[in-house]
Amino acid sequence: QQWYSNSMKVICMWLADRLDLQLHIYQLKTLIKIVKKTYRDFRLQGVLEGTLNSKTYDTVHSRLTVEEATVSVTDAGGLQGITMKDSDE
Asked if residue 33 has pLDDT above 70, the reply is: yes
- Confidence (pLDDT) at 89: 42
- The per-residue pLDDT for range 42-88, each reduced to its tens digit, is 999 999 999 999 999 999 999 999 998 888 777 666 666 677 776 44
Nearest to 43 by CA among 88, 84, 77, 9: 88
Number of domains into which the chain is organized: 1
Q: Is residue 48 part of a domain?
A: yes
Q: What is the Cα–Cα distance from 64 to 66, expressed in whole angstroms?
A: 5
Q: Is residue 82 part of a domain?
A: no
Spatial contact of 82 and 32, defined as CB atoms under 8 Å apart: yes
CA 74 to chain centre: 20
Q: Is residue 21 part of a domain?
A: yes
Q: Is residue 79 part of a domain?
A: no
Q: What is the Cα–Cα distance from 19 to 74, expressed in whole angstroms?
A: 19
Query: Which residues form the domain of 23?
Result: 1-74
Instruction: Give the end-to-end CA distance of the chain in Å, rounded to a whole number.
Output: 24
Q: Is residue 83 part of a domain?
A: no
Q: Is residue 45 part of a domain?
A: yes
